[in-house]
Structure 1
Amino acid sequence: MAAGGPFGIDHRVTVDNRGIWARHNQLVLEYATAATVVIAPLVLGDESKLGDTFWRTLDSVAVSQAITQAAKLTFQRERPSQTANPDLFFRGVHDSSFPSGEVTLIAGAVTPFVVAYGRDHPAVYALELLPLYDSMARVKVRGHWQSDVLAGWAIGTATGIWAAHRRSPLILGWLPGGFEIGFAHKF
């Protein structure tokens, strides 16, 4: 089977929308990730390493989603559910396969944690299994081409690294006097 797309790797795979790959499981991961990214920084504040990491995750996700949406509007690529030809770009604003917004979200959410905690707690690297799963699942349900998910993963990872290495969280810095809300309890 010939492959195409920007990296020469794109091809349709047999649809598998059952079990672990079912679309509803992908949506659970997407919505749970988005909810956690928005709610956790508000609850935890930024006084702890965990709270600070969640604020950086919010920065990562916000910036990566802005980049991804701009890219989708620019490239206007048809999805594999629409065509067998992976080279169809600039087809109209309703075609938004490149890059994958969901994979960008998941990668952008886990990367600040990998950067902040990975060296001291190597098990944190297992979080990278989440964008791997979502990438595979999106391709299996023909929601995206292989290059779509790789580009999304790269954008999410890059913004996560950027957010993790900033002197302070970006969005938190925009708030006058910072932001603090939450519940803290020590035993």
Structure 2
Amino acid sequence: MPATRFSDLVRGMRDLRIATVPVLLMALLAGGIYTFVAVANDVSENELQRFDNGLLLLFRQPGDVSAPIGPSWVAQSVVEITTLGGYPVLVTLVTAIAGFLLVYRKFGPAIFMVAAIVSGTGVSHLLKIVYDRPRPDIVDHLVATHTASFPSGHATMSAVVYLTLATMIVRLVDDVAVRIYVILMAVLLTFMVGMSRIYLGVHWPSDVIAGWALGTAWACLSWLAVTALRALRARG
């Protein structure tokens, strides 16, 4: 194949990828919003109580709602996993990466990351106040809690933080395998944090599902906003 034809093919694939990403982000955004609204409506009408109760009890010993399934080291491991979605870990992580970006003079990505995460935190807290759903009362809580239940703040913020960081990293590499690995790791961390909240008995499963949906939608919305701003700047 002539060099010119090969370069045209590579350029065409790159243009297709650039055009496809916003479409995928829009699809994820729409799916996340739809899922959150659907779950929120069902929660308000108490239509998910049977599902929530059944899944919570699935993680407890039969006849003893105070004892989680598995040996004691499993429960301790889950407690440590859940901290990956807690504010101390997330704030430390975001601060460290923002500091690195500022030292590296990447002011745009630093501002984007902090703005997306801070605004996502605000929305999560606001929705907790609006819905004011009590924490689960059918099983014992294995860790302390201080806010309302819906949506799960850990599930929401782990999705916002890890997916936002993943989208920043994938822009720095061209290797498809590396990009897939980074995205999968972000999804895996988000999934583990959400499931830990159910295992520990501090969230209804529907809280976690809504948190995942909200966090994913917010990360996609933030990235679409940055993409639009860059397109406007390029035209100007």
TM-score by length of 2: 0.56
Which residue among 89, 94, 103 is the counterpart of 1:32? 89
* 1:39, distance to aligned residue in structure 2 (A): 3.1
Corresponding residue number in structure 2 for 1:10: 52
Q: Which consecutive aligned stretches of 4+ in structure 1 deviate over 3 angstroms post-superposition?
A: 51-55, 113-116
Unaligned runs of at least 5 residues, structure 2: 1-41, 61-66, 69-73, 140-145, 230-236
Corresponding residue number in structure 2 for 1:58: 114
Show CA shifts across 1:106-148 (max 9, x none). Answer: 1100122333418842101221111100111000111101111
* 1:28, distance to aligned residue in structure 2 (A): 5.0
TM-score by length of 1: 0.68
What is the rounded CA distance, in whole Å, between the counterparts of 1:54 and 1:153 in structure 2? Answer: 24
- Structure 1 residues 95 and 55, CA, compared in 2 at 3 Å: closer, same or farther? closer
The percent of aligned pairs where both chains have the same amino acid is 22
Corresponding residue number in structure 1 for 2:99: 42
Corresponding residue number in structure 1 for 2:201: 142
Show CA shifts across 1:147-179 (max 9, x none). Answer: 1111111121111112222238x9xxxxxxxxx
CA-based RMSD of the aligned residues comes to: 3.0
What is the rounded CA distance, in whole Å, between the counterparts of 2:138 and 2:182 in structure 1? Answer: 38
Q: How many residues align?
A: 153
> Does structure 1 residue 71 correspond to structure 2 residue 123?
no
Corresponding residue number in structure 2 for 1:122: 180
Q: Is the 8 A contact 1:56 1:112 kept in 2?
A: no
- Structure 1 residues 54 and 20, CA, compared in 2 at 3 Å: closer, same or farther? farther
Question: SS at 1:84's partner residue?
Answer: coil
Larger Rg belongs to: 2
* 1:20, distance to aligned residue in structure 2 (A): 2.1
Q: Is the 8 A contact 1:68 1:104 kept in 2?
A: yes
Unaligned runs of at least 5 residues, structure 1: 86-93, 171-187
Show CA shifts across 1:2-58 (max 9, x none). Answer: xxx626231223253713212x4422552222211133213322744xx75454332
